[in-house]
Structure 1
Amino acid sequence: MEWTTVQHLDLWHVGNCSKPFQLHIATFHPTQALVAIASGTYIIEFDAYTGSKISLINIGAHVLRMSYSPTSGHVIIAILEVSSFLPYS
């Protein structure tokens, strides 16, 4: 299987079909029918054929870039945006 171009990707909140899901980053698995999306601080993995959610994780930071590891099945490598707020004295 080869993923080259995504023309259109619709994601909707379950139970509220009138509200689209705010997608920030998406990546496709190079050999399996899997797609992972990042929204806010969450990474969600879906089956690309059925649209079923496979896994969800709150990583605690916004994802800037991500990709599947080429040497492993379900490992996603993510580059995070970490912001720190220092109190003024």
Structure 2
Amino acid sequence: MGVNPTVHELDEDPRGKEMEKALMRLLGSSSAVPVVFIGGKLVGAMDRVMASHINGTLVPLLKDAVKKAEEEEWFLRVISSILDTNQMMY
């Protein structure tokens, strides 16, 4: 499917505790990690990810995130090419 997850270890980040507290407020939970974001959107803790899988909404979420990432990558390549061409003109 082309999904390459990014893992952010809060215990290795100087602001990790602060981020964990913010996630706890967002989730309304005393345990904020692990938390999953797909395509920049908060899905929630693993129970929410599993529920999304069971109810059939997880795969469409992943496919949409991959599609958006591919579109963004294509757009960035086009912009980069235009910028490179403009630099060669000056």
Give the shorter-chain TM-score range: under 0.3
TM-score with structure 2 length normalisation?
Answer: 0.23
TM-score with structure 1 length normalisation?
Answer: 0.23
More helix by share: 2
More strand by share: 1
Rg comparison, structure with higher value: 2
